[in-house]
Chain A
């Protein structure tokens, strides 16, 4: 009697499992449960047996759901990797590690933006209004014509490494504009929706043909070297420097903005010539940290009204905290590709079962 009732309850609880698991094992599990219950009944221990089985079933079902979703995700990754396989593509374009000329191209955007920052701050051409650093519309008139063509050409060419900083600067400008105009959430929702649709679009069927070559070339570039994503984030550094030195034109005009711009350029150049991921990331984090440090000294110099360029300013605690926050805000996305394991997408497919 008890065995029959327990078997019914157990059969009902098997609905907690994913449908595919139930279809494969539910009958067998009911049979095994019943055999175990009958054996336990013969020893007069059916209740402890049933309680143990019922206690273990929900966590086992939860684990089955987890395995199911993990398996689905891995299958999707494997299929995407197969559909985006660069096996028949020509080898990716060489980057700045192979030639100084290419490194110069990759650093070009940083050199140009550094030169603009320095010129507008120290030379102050006529017609440039005070506080231009905070005028997003004016910034857009420089950033958009520069980065949109670069990004489009880069995408058409399979996103070579020189295209990443332009894309990063464009996206960060769009994010900043959306944030200032109260559209930050809207932008995030739109980006999430676009990413979801893009994933659906490339969600491959095992029998479908490979993805179009331009998309596969972009995938090839993205999976070749995950630090490229960090390099793209580093592309937004000119905007970070602007934010950190937003009062540079109205104060003492210390040399620190030039130091920050130089640190940014040198960091990018070392990145472009580094051959290891560790060296590349160290170069990017070093460039960012030096630029932020220069901003900290600038704020300290402003607060102390130092008479000369070479006087040593002492930063105060609130400035240190403020710029530590700025540093973290930029270092976190810089390191995110490594932390999120983007490199795994470029790893060889898992061993077939």
Chain B
């Protein structure tokens, strides 16, 4: 299997991409979703989030789209959506993590059955 030079993803990047997997979200919704997905373990600050978003935009992993859930203020919020390359990386990382978990489980099962 060819190694993807972009893997493994950092935890923050992984959760941001995962948050965007169901559909586009704006910045604050990503923050809250990452916190929920990680069961309150990963709390991104605004600065960390936007640093990551800029990098992901430059890499072409995500794109900017119109906010799918605009609020009732006049402010135009921007939303972010997963691009094809970002989805591929997310899936590759998920597959990598799955293999790690499988390998760990196999070893733990062998030990517990001995």
Q: In the bound complex, what is the Cα–Cα distance between A28 and B59 (angstroms)?
A: 20
Cross-chain contact of A28 among B43, B48, B78 (Cβ < 8 A): B78
Chain A interface residue count, CB cutoff 8 Å, equals: 24
How far is the CB of A317 from the nearest CB of chain B, in Å? 48
Q: Which of A32, A59, A67, A353 interacts with B27 by CB under 8 Å?
A: A32
Q: How far is the CB of A101 from chain B (nearest CB, A)?
A: 43
| Contact mask for chain A residues 53-93; partner B; CB cutoff 8 A; 1 contact, 0 none | 10111011101100100010000000000000000000000
Structural contact, A31 and B77, CB atoms closer than 8 A:
yes
By the criterion CB–CB under 8 Å, are A21 and B54 in contact?
yes
Chain B residues within 8 Å of chain A by Cβ, number:
20
- In the complex, which residues 28-70 of chain B have their Cβ closer than 8 Å to any Cβ of chain A? 28, 31, 43, 45-51, 53-55, 58-60
Name the A residues within 8 Å of B111 (CB-CB).
Answer: none
Q: What separation, in Å, do the CA atoms of A56 and B49 have in the docked complex? A: 11
**CB atoms of B47 and A53 under 8 A apart:** yes
Please, which residues of chain A bring their CB within 8 A of the CB of B53? Answer: 25
> How many A-B contacts at CB < 8 Å in the complex?
59
- Determine whether the beta carbon of A29 is less than 8 Å from that of B58: no
Which residues of B are found within 8 Å of A135, using beta-carbon distances?
Answer: none
* With known contacts A28-B77, A56-B47, A36–B31 Cβ distance under 8 A: yes
B59 touching A353, Cβ below 8 Å:
yes
For B48, what are the chain A residues with a Cβ–Cβ distance below 8 Å?
A: 56, 60
Q: Report the bound CA distance from A67 to B43 in whole Å.
A: 22
- Choose among A25, A53, A59, A352 the residue that contacts B54 (Cβ–Cβ < 8 A): A25
Q: How far is the CA of A314 from the CA of B11 in the complex (A)?
A: 60
**Interface residue ranges of A297-353 to B (CB < 8 Å):** 352-353
Chain B CB within 8 A of A180 CB:
no
**In contact, B54 and A67 (Cβ under 8 angstroms):** yes
> Chain B contacts of A33 at CB under 8 A?
46
Asked if A141 lies at the interface with its beta carbon under 8 angstroms from chain B, I say: no
User: Are B59 and A32 in contact (CB-based, < 8 A)?
Assistant: no
- List of B residues within 8 angstroms of A31 by Cβ: 27-28, 75, 77
Minimum distance in angstroms from B76 CB to a CB of chain A: 9
One digit per residue, 1 when the CB lies within 8 angstroms of any chain B CB and 0 when it does not, for chain A 26-49 equals 001101110110000000000000
Tell me, rounded to whole Å, the shortest Cβ–Cβ distance linking B58 to chain A.
5
Report yes or no: A64 in contact with B60, Cβ–Cβ below 8 A: no
A35 to B47, CA, bound (A): 14
Min Cβ gap A222→B in Å is 26
Residues in chain B within 8 A of chain A (CB atoms): 27-28, 31, 43, 45-51, 53-55, 58-60, 75, 77-78
Given A57-B46, A60-B51, 19 more A-B residue pairs with CB atoms under 8 Å apart are: A21-B54, A28-B78, A29-B46, A31-B75, A32-B28, A32-B49, A32-B50, A33-B46, A36-B46, A52-B43, A52-B45, A53-B46, A53-B47, A56-B46, A60-B48, A63-B51, A64-B54, A67-B51, A353-B60
Nearest 9 A-B pairs (CB), nearest first? Answer: A60-B47, A56-B45, A353-B60, A32-B27, A57-B47, A35-B28, A32-B28, A25-B50, A60-B51
